[in-house]
Every structure is written in structure tokens, then in C-alpha cells.
Structure 1
Amino acid sequence: MLIDPKSPEMRRRRFRPIPIRMLVPNFITLLAICAGLTAIRLSTEGRMELAVAAIVFAAVLDGIDGRVARMIKGQSKFGAELDSLADFVNFGVAPGLILYFWQLRELHNGGWIAAMVFAISGGLRLARFNASIDDPNKPAFAANFFTGVPAPAGAITVLLPIYLGFLGLSKPPAMLTAGYTLLIGFLMVSRLPVFSGKTWRMRVPPEMVLPVFVSVVLFIALLIGYPWYILSVGTVLYLLSLPAGWKSYRDHQRRAAAQGATAADVVPPESAQPYVSKVTEAHQDNRPSRLN
């Protein structure tokens, strides 16, 4: 039986109403894209402080949209694709252009190459993440680690020279800034295990609710009052934590390998299993029956 695609029934299926809860996370993602594009415009106009603030704002929105989607059950494939596009614009293209207009253009083509390599590294990092989401061979402990520095963290980290410049320090040589930009781009596409915190329990004991509220308010107040100090210290601490993430991943690998070796010692090899089963059957045939 053929169904006419222009029939009223098919038209109702195609244009059925979409719940508002499916749209809210996408609105947040679109707002993040607007922040990233605005950061690019502000950097071309030389308003670097506002440009960097827009990138930080986009990173905050990126951390919110996914959690809001899971909280209100508004996940969708469209939202996931839109989020990937937003991450590429906000944390790949925008930081690279900000660094280029801030200092890298002094190197002419060399500075543009450094900015372009960083942007492309962000895109490759996101493509690899999307391709490995449904990897069946990933061990259970790997859920708490990213492969390579995630794009939002890479964007916040690569802007460290600008934070230091806002603190009154002299600009580093343009070659040093370009090398640092390439280094962060390499860390994004590398296989370095990085803490993700996805498996951390998001429940707070009742006695810790008020201290958590105070800590969050204090952090926000410090970020607003002393943004470049907080971002500089946070970036340095994040870079110093990368070796700890690699060590933790290696420890998990060793424990998993040891458990696998122990299980292999307990379970007889396949070649010995037929012999073991025959011996077991013979023993069962010779033992007295309790039904007699």
C-alpha cells in the first residue's frame, strides 16, 4: 500500500509540534555561538578584554547547555550537531583569531598559520570526540577521562598570554606566543588522557549545601572582581594537572591488566576446557545419588 507523502496524515507527522523542553538547550547553544561571533568582532576592533570575556561566557554556556538538556530530557541529535558547531566556532576559530589580532599578526604568514592550526586542531578534536562516543572497546574507567585537552579548556588555556598582558606584564615575543598556541593545539589532538569529571557524583550532603553555595558565590565574585588573576591561576593549575591525569589513567590501565591476568589464571584455557568437562562428568556419574 502506497502512502501519498502529500496526504494530511503524513503532513501532520512531518510537522508535529516540538516540545519546548527540546528547544531550550538549543537556545542556550545559539546564545553561545552569538558570544563567540561577537568575540571575533570585538577582537578585530581591538577591544580584547571584552573579546576574551565573551569567550569565557561562551565556555560557561557550553557547560550549561548539556546539563540542562539532560535535566529536562531535551537531548536531540540536532542539538548535538549544533553543539559541535558552536564548539568549533567558539573554542577553535574565535580564540585563534583573537590571538592573531592581539599579537600573532606581527609574524605575518607564520602567525596566521599558528592561529589556523589551532582552529583546525579544535575541529579535529571535536570530530574525534563525536566518532568515539559509541566505541564498544572503551574500558569502563575511560569514561572519567577525555582523550586530549577538550576544546573549551583548550580555548581558555591558549589565551594565557593575553591574561598576563592584562595584568600589566609585557607581551612575550610573538614567536613564543605562536609556539604556545601550537602546543595547546597539539595537546587538543593528542592521545593524552585528561580528567573529565563526568563520573563524579553530583550529590551534595545536606550539611555541605550552605558551604557549597558560599563557595560558588565567592568564586563568581572573585572571577568578576579579579578575572585575569583567576583565569591565569586557573590556567596554570590546569596545565600542571595534566601529568596527574596521565598517571591516573596509566594506574587504571595497570589495575585492569592485572585483573585480566588474574581472571585468565582462574579460567582454564580453551584447549583444557573439554578435558576438564569430561573429568567433571565422570566424577558426577560415579558419585552416589541422594535420591536412592
Structure 2
Amino acid sequence: MPLRRGIPLRAVAPNAVTALALCSGLTGVRFAIAGEWERAAGAIIIAGVLDGLDGRIARLLKGQSKFGEQLDSLSDVIAFGVAPALIMFLWSLKDVPRYGWIFALALAVCMAMRLARFNSQIDSVEQPHKSAGFLTGVPAPAAAGLAMLPLYIWLWSGQDMARIPWITAPWLAFVAFLAVSNIATFSWSSLRIRRSVRLEALVGVALVGAALLSAPFETLTVICLVYLGLIAWSVRSYAKVKRRRAAQAG
């Protein structure tokens, strides 16, 4: 029987989704250049959704590969680091180009550093955050979404104050810090829902989906604020885990 040659389709499918996420992020820059801010923000959100799917597709099809891991990291740097930085620069920071560019660069560089740290620790045995079900810092897609919070507010409120560079620049610096920080944040894959509230959770997800369709930028603003609150909660939760581990070790 002749040997089959070529790459199996199951290995190509997740990489194709990753490439689509990359294309969506770069398309957001194209929309920003044209001044189509709603589409620019939407393109980054779509890239985030695709990024959340590629890993799950790879595991479902058993198509994980080293190539896919590297492509995913490169895609994340561009779609969630470079693209949001350029969008926010073109939307707001270009009004003070010399200083604004520094903050745009900070977001892109910190995102690259975050992903480089992730790749360097992927085979590390000692990962206290991961072993407890937490992430280290804010993940790239979430950081990209948070970075554009002033843009979301401006799109639904029309308030030009949200577009002032002296507000946007410190916000980008704060998000860049969260991305490269050692703050423990919740990993969505480790969260568990009680069986007794399963139906209520499904209704909640459906309502959020409906809200995103009918009032996308108001909903994204609320999601960002809720996520910031969850960061504070995750820090407290991990502190409890550390105390429990210290007590067991003692």
C-alpha cells in the first residue's frame, strides 16, 4: 500500500484560523487608516474570537504542532499588539505624535515581551500561577480589548474627552503594564460553573450575545469594566491559594 504524503487536513485547519485572526487584526489597521473606527474595533474583536477558537480546534482535531504554536504567537503580537497600538495612535495619539508614538510603541513592545515570556516558559516545570489555574498577567486578546476601551466609550457616547491623548496615553501604559506584569489573572479554561446554575449561565451568555449585536460598544465597555473587577478578585483568590500552599508546606 503506497504511503500517504502531505500534511493532514487536521493540522492545517487550526493554522488557517490563526492566519485569519492575523488578517483580521491587520484589516483593523486598514479601517483605522480610512477613519472607519467601528470596523477597526470590530476587526480586533473578531481576531480575538478567532484566537480563542484556533487552540480548541487544534485540540479537537489533534492537530497541535510546533509550527502552530509559533504562528499563534506571531499572530498575537501583530493582531493584539501592533494593530491596536496603530489604531489607538491613528484615533487619538497622533494629535501629539512625538509623545503619543511612545505610548503606542509601549503597548506593542510589552505585548511582544509578554508572548516571548510565555514561549520561554511553556516547558517550564515550575509555574505557580498555571498550576493553580491562573494566568500570569492579562492575556494578549484581553489586553487588546482593554486598550481600546476609550474608543468604545467614544463610539457610543460621542464624548470627545475619551479621545484626548492625555487620557488615552496613560490608559495604554496601564494596559501595557498589566500585560507584562506578574499579576495572577483568571484562566477561563479553569473556571467551573455549578450544575445548579448551568441554565442561568447559558441564558446569561445568550443575553450578552444579544447585547453585543444590538449595542456592541456599550456592551464591550461593560465587559471591560467587569474584567477589570475580575482582575482584583483574581489577585485576592491567588493570595488565598498561596497562603494555603504555604500552610501545607509548613
Instruction: Please indicate, yes or no, whether the TM-score normalized by the shorter chain is above 0.5.
Output: yes
Instruction: Tell me the distance in 1 between the aligned counterparts of 2:147 and 2:36.
Output: 18
Question: Does structure 1 residue 171 correspond to structure 2 residue 164?
Answer: no
Any idea what SS the aligned residue of 2:174 has? helix
Residue number in structure 2 paired with 1:40: 29
Residue number in structure 2 paired with 1:65: 54
Aligned counterpart for 2:99 among listed residues 88, 110, 114: 110
Aligned counterpart for 1:189 among listed residues 153, 175, 180: 180
Q: Structure 1's 207 and 137: CA in aligned 2 closer, same or farther, altered over 3 A?
A: closer
Instruction: Tell me the distance in 1 between the aligned counterparts of 2:129 and 2:138.
Output: 20
Letter in 2 for 1:71: L
CA RMSD of aligned residues (A): 2.1
Letter in 2 for 1:46: G
Instruction: Tell me the distance in 1 between the aligned counterparts of 2:59 and 2:192.
Output: 15
Runs of 4+ aligned residues of structure 1 deviating over 6 Å after TM superposition are: none
Number of equivalences: 247
Letter in 1 for 2:15: N
Instruction: Tell me the distance in 2 between the aligned counterparts of 1:248 and 1:91.
Output: 27
Q: Which runs of 5+ in 1 are unaligned?
A: 1-11, 262-292
Residue number in structure 2 paired with 1:225: 214
Residue number in structure 2 paired with 1:267: none
Deviates more, 1:153-162 or 1:128-137: 128-137
Instruction: Tell me the distance in 2 between the aligned counterparts of 1:141 and 1:256.
Output: 14
Letter in 2 for 1:153: A
Relative CO higher for 1 or 2, CA cutoff 8 Å, sep ≥ 6?
2
Any idea what SS the aligned residue of 1:146 has? strand
Residue number in structure 2 paired with 1:49: 38
Instruction: Tell me the distance in 1 between the aligned counterparts of 2:95 and 2:129.
Output: 47
Any idea what SS the aligned residue of 1:167 has? helix
Q: Using the TM superposition, give the Cα deviation of residue 142 of structure 1 relative to its aligned residue in structure 2, in angstroms.
A: 3.4
Q: Which structure has more helix as a fraction of its residues?
A: 2
Residue number in structure 2 paired with 1:17: 6
Q: Which runs of 5+ in 2 are unaligned?
A: none
Any idea what SS the aligned residue of 2:185 has? strand
Q: Structure 1's 189 and 140: CA in aligned 2 closer, same or farther, altered over 3 A?
A: closer
Question: Does structure 1 residue 80 correspond to structure 2 residue 69?
Answer: yes
Any idea what SS the aligned residue of 1:198 has? helix
Is the CA contact 2:25–2:47 (under 8 Å) kept in the aligned structure 1?
Answer: yes
Residue number in structure 2 paired with 1:180: 171
Letter in 1 for 2:173: L
Is the CA contact 2:149–2:221 (under 8 Å) kept in the aligned structure 1?
Answer: yes
Q: Using the TM superposition, give the Cα deviation of residue 154 of structure 1 relative to its aligned residue in structure 2, in angstroms.
A: 0.4
Letter in 2 for 1:175: W
Instruction: Tell me the distance in 2 between the aligned counterparts of 1:139 and 1:121.
Output: 22
Instruction: Tell me the distance in 1 between the aligned counterparts of 2:133 and 2:49.
Output: 20
Residue number in structure 2 paired with 1:275: none
